[in-house]
Amino acid sequence: MSTKRAHPYFDDRGILDWHTSLEDAKAQARAEGKRLFIEFGREACSQCRTLVQDAVPHPRVAPLLQAGWVGVASEADDPEDAVLDLVEELGDAMMLPFVIFADADGRFLEGYSGTASPPYLVKVLEKLAGA
């Protein structure tokens, strides 16, 4: 069993295997039958830190993420073009982090901008699990 890659800035307590390359994450998601959980943010973003360190490892969120998602940590100051294309799906989103849920081929499923509580994440993850 391989060791999980940590988020490049924040400690999610080992919940997700984080990629900084969308293509690498897509390959893993396809191989494991999972989807993509993309955190588009930056190290200096306190809400990005809260998402990764508090919401992701939350006892109700973590099992849902682990069961069906591969993490992508996308640096807002140097994003991949394919991630920017997904960000455009959020419309007029202005507040980091931008969180994008995508299928294993990188197609946008859902997303939001800014802070989200663990109950909100559970609601979205459960909805997407049923889709």
71 found inside a domain:
yes
4 found inside a domain:
no
10 found inside a domain:
no
2 found inside a domain:
no
Average pLDDT, whole number, for the chain? 95
9 found inside a domain:
no
Structural domains in the chain (count) = 1
Write the CATH number for 26. 3.40.30.10
5 found inside a domain:
no
116 found inside a domain:
yes
101 found inside a domain:
yes
66-80 mean pLDDT: 97
Residues 6+ apart with CB under 8 A from 13: 53, 57
Domain range spanning residue 124? 18-129
* Segment 107-126, tens digit of pLDDT: 999 999 998 999 999 999 99
* Segment 6-15, tens digit of pLDDT: 999 999 999 9
- Of 96 and 93, more confident: 96
How would you class 86 by CB atoms within 10 Å of its CB: exposed for 0-12, middle for 13-18, buried for 19 or more? buried
- Of 81 and 93, more confident: 81
